[in-house]
Structure 1
Amino acid sequence: MSHGPDNTAFYTCGAALLLICLVKVPALVRRGRDMLLSAVVLLLFDGGLVFFFAAPDSIATINRVTGVPNFAAPFAYSALAFFGGASLLLIINWRPAPPDRTRRASRVCIAAYSLAIIAINVLFWVGHAPVEQLTLFDWYYAGTPFIREMILTYLVAQGVGTMATSVLCWRWSREVTGLLRAGLRILAAGYALHVCYDVIKLVAVYGRWTGHRWSFLVDQVAPQAAAPSAALVVCGFGLPLAGSRVARSVRSVTQLRELGPLWRELKHVPTPGATRTSLPWWSSPAVRLTRRKTSIYDALLALVPYYDTAVHEQVRRAALDHGHEEADAEAAAEAAMVVAACRRRHRPGDGFAGTPAAGPWRPGALVPLSRALSSPVLSSLREHPGAPQRKQPS
């Protein structure tokens, strides 16, 4: 046919789904008995194949290589029915139910869709479809014995699976938050559009039975629902996976930047036994953040003999006199104690026996400690080493 859906959209979405599938393969290898994960991987894999096989160029190539007119039809329709079955299998393993019931339902689902796929292929070979149709197969052969039943089998099988998946994804989206909720709602919309794709084709088939020429529904209208459906399905599966990783990376990069001042203050403090080798260039931001925090903790502990509680108390009072909040004043006091300890370390014999009760190395205090290094109170301490001066009342 001279018109029809664009190949680029099919190939792009198919490649994206297969890429996401590959990302999940290592987890599947580690958890081979996880039926839920297996269903997700199967769904992604089959979804990618569906988009590849549904492209007009792929249909023409399959027909030409096999030498059988319309051989691609049962091939693509089997993949579409499998897609519906994988969706149902995913639903069965997601819903709360006793393990025995889940296993029984999974077996029934696998058996039912296996029979549907077998029926699609048997009906094609029993029927007669001699004229090649790249985009109008459903409409052109809607009245042909056996081929008609094959078309109905795949449309119903796929429609039931995608409709159930859409409903379940929407229900779950109301029970979760964050990226998972966003991904489920995108999936619900994507599967709903796929149901529209099936309904449009069924309407075209019905029109063929009643003598109406509604072929435009098959090759012009239905693809308009399939293209955004494909994009939404890709985004829905990709967002919880890639989105969470991106969010973690952004948080790690932000903390690395925030810890920069503290790291520069402490990087020359010797820490016996600590590892400070360079990380490989491909190390993730999370790994770099862990290494930086470890190095900072080691340096802070190495400065323990040089901490002066008097510096801590004096800077804290000075910060409060300058209008700082209690938390900010405490952070500034600890930062001042660290700066003074770094200087004192270079003066032999000038050490102290202990530290304040709330040491600057406690978990969660590194970022406030790093920010406090830019406090005006510390600027005064750097310029005039010694006891900070309290603000005089006006």
Structure 2
Amino acid sequence: MSHGPDNTVFYLCGALLLLICLLKVPALLRHRRDLLLGSVVLLLFDGALVFFFAAPDSIAELNRVTGVPNFAAPLAYSALAVFGGASLLLIVNWRPAPAERTRRASRVCVLVYGLVVVAINALFWAGHAPVEQLTLFDGYYASTPFIREMILTYLVAQGVGTMATSVLCWRWSKQVHGSLRAGLRILAPGYLLHVCYDVVKLVAIGGRWAGHRWDFLIDQVAPQTAAPSAVFVVCGFGVPLAGPPLAQSVRSLRQLRQLTPLWEELRDVPTPGAIRTSLPWWSSPAVRLTRRRTSIYDALLALAPHYDPAVRERALRTALDRGDDAGTAEATAEAAMVVAARTRRARAGTAGTAGAGRAADAPPRQPRDLIPLSRALSSPVLSALRERPRAAQAESSHRD
């Protein structure tokens, strides 16, 4: 008998859901009383089981190992029903509501779907399904006493849970923003496809009752809705999980690029006592950004005795005369003072401390934001002021 749909799709989707579930487990261990987090983990784990159990090769292997024809059917259908219940449980704990009401609704949801699982297994063992069916179980046994009721029980239970989840995900997405909203907007159609899966199977079963054989709906059309649904669910849960870290990495990379001019200006400034060990290649952008900021602040602190307020005031007046706004002019003035201090510090390192006496009395300055300071290094005002310390040094040497 043909095994129907490609097993690779089922196993891949199941593995992805299981991976996301495992990423959530450490947080669940730290917050064991968090019903919302517990619902997410349960949903992801059960979703992985659904795809593992639904793979035709898995069905055949379970039947072979147990020696019971169609033994995999109640397992797969129980997992499908639990998926609908876990989805509803997730929404119950996700929506804003008083804590007691949430706990009560959660208990009802767990009780109802627990009874659904018991009913599925009881109906299977009460019925008679001697002929193994890997992909057409629903159609083949659509009119078999007890087995028929088992099939309808799991389809209705899953359909109700996933339909409610789809609607509530879409409604909630209108109240939130960012990666959470994106994830909910992906989950809503994903769960709606699950509902389509149930409806297609119910249509095929209704056709059997009317004397028609629409088995292609079960082994060809229904799987075509399940596969994209799995992709939507995986992405829907993955986006809120990966969105914030990814956004932070992008911000860190952008700030690293923005700080590059300032870092190149100060990287050769001696900073006694500062840690200069290299970071491992796997360090995150956020860690690298922290290290770069720390190194820049260390260099600015080392230059503090050489700051000259007169250089700052002169650059500030020049920037304002050019028409720069107050914030840009302030950043340009700070940058000019830093560049002058760096030149004076380099000169003091090779020719003693001569020429730094007046600046040594200046109070240390700590720029509030390094990025405007880094941008100001490209200002035309700063380009003109860079030449003044050199001219002063040449004049001093001539007098000596």
**Aligned equivalent of 1:352:** 360
Alpha-carbon shift at residue 355 of structure 1 (Å): 4.6
Q: What SS class does the counterpart of residue 259 from structure 1 fall into?
A: helix
Structure 1 pair 155/354, CA: closer, same or farther in 2 (3 Å)? Answer: same
Which position in structure 2 is the counterpart of 1:193?
Answer: 193
Within 5 A, what are the aligned runs for 1:1-394?
A: 1-2=1-2, 4-346=4-346, 347=348, 348-349=353-354, 350=356, 351-355=359-363, 359=365, 361-362=367-368, 365-385=369-389
* Letter of the structure 1 residue corresponding to residue 73 of structure 2: A
Deviates more, 1:172-181 or 1:51-60: 51-60
1:318-376: CA deviations, max 9, x gaps? 233444343322222211111111122232151332359xx4521xx211111211223
SS of the residue 1:276 aligns to: coil
**Greater share of helix:** 2
Q: 1:212-270 CA distances to partner (integer Å, 9 max, x unpaired)? A: 11111111111121111111001100011112211111111111121112122222334
Superposed displacement of residue 83, structure 1? 0.7
- Kindly state the Cα deviation for residue 284 of structure 1 after the two structures are TM-superposed: 1.2
CA distance in 1, matches of 2:225, 2:328: 56
Distance 2:123 2:134 in 1: 19
Structure 2 gap ranges (5+): 393-400
Structure 1 CA distance for aligned equivalents of residues 345 and 37 of structure 2: 55
Asked if the contact 2:186/2:233 (under 8 Å) is kept, the reply is yes
Asked if the contact 1:360/1:369 (under 8 Å) is kept, the reply is no
One-letter identity of the residue aligned with 1:19: L
**Sequence identity, in percent?**
76
In structure 1, C-alpha distance between the alignment counterparts of 2:331 and 2:98, rounded to whole Å: 53
User: Cα offset for 1:383?
Assistant: 4.0
Distance 1:141 1:20 in 2: 35
- Tell me if structure 2 keeps the 8 A contact 1:3–1:219: no
Separation in structure 1 between the aligned mates of residue 391 and residue 108 of structure 2, nearest angstrom: 79
| Deviations, residues 257-286 of structure 1 (Å, cap 9, x unaligned) | 211121222223343443333233322111
Q: Could you tell me how far apart the structure 2 residues matched to 1:372 and 1:60 are?
A: 69
**Aligned length in residues:** 384
Instruction: Give 1:51's aligned amino acid.
Output: F
Query: In terms of mean alpha carbon deviation, does 309-318 or 76-85 score higher?
Result: 309-318
The 1:92/1:98 distance shift into structure 2, 3 A limit, reads same
Instruction: Write the letter of the residue equivalent to 2:367.
Output: W
Runs of 4+ deviating beyond 4 Å: none
Question: Cα 1:289–1:280, aligned 2, differ >3 Å: closer, same or farther?
Answer: same
Higher mean Cα deviation, 75-84 or 294-303?
294-303
C-alpha separation in 2, matches of 1:25 and 1:274: 39
SS at match of 1:345: helix
Q: Which amino acid aligns with 1:154?
A: Y
1:13/1:387 CA distance change after superposition, 3 Å: farther
TM-score (norm 2): 0.91
C-alpha distance in 1, partners of 2:388/2:11? 67
Within 2, Cα distance between the matches of 1:95 and 1:387? 69
Partner of 1:392: none
Answer yes or no: is the 8 Å Cα contact 2:3–2:56 preserved in 1. Answer: no
In 2, are the aligned partners of 1:123 and 1:149 still within 8 Å (CA)?
Answer: yes
Question: Within 1, Cα distance between the matches of 2:26 and 2:370?
Answer: 35
TM value normalised by structure 1: 0.92
Equivalent-residue separation in structure 1 for 2:342 and 2:196 (angstroms): 69
Work out whether residues 129 and 147 of structure 1, in 8 Å CA contact, stay in contact via their aligned partners in 2: yes
- Stretch deviating more after TM superposition (34-43 or 276-285): 276-285
Residue identity matched to 2:27: A
Deviation at 1:386, TM superposition (A): 6.0
Deviation at 1:38, TM superposition (A): 0.5
Query: How much is the aligned-residue C-alpha RMSD, in angstroms?
Result: 1.9
User: Could you list the runs of 5+ residues in structure 1 that have no partner in the other structure?
Assistant: 389-394
Contact 1:312–1:337 (CA under 8 A) maintained in structure 2: yes
Q: Assess, with a 3 A threshold, how the Cα gap between structure 1 residues 331 and 386 changes in structure 2: closer, same or farther.
A: farther
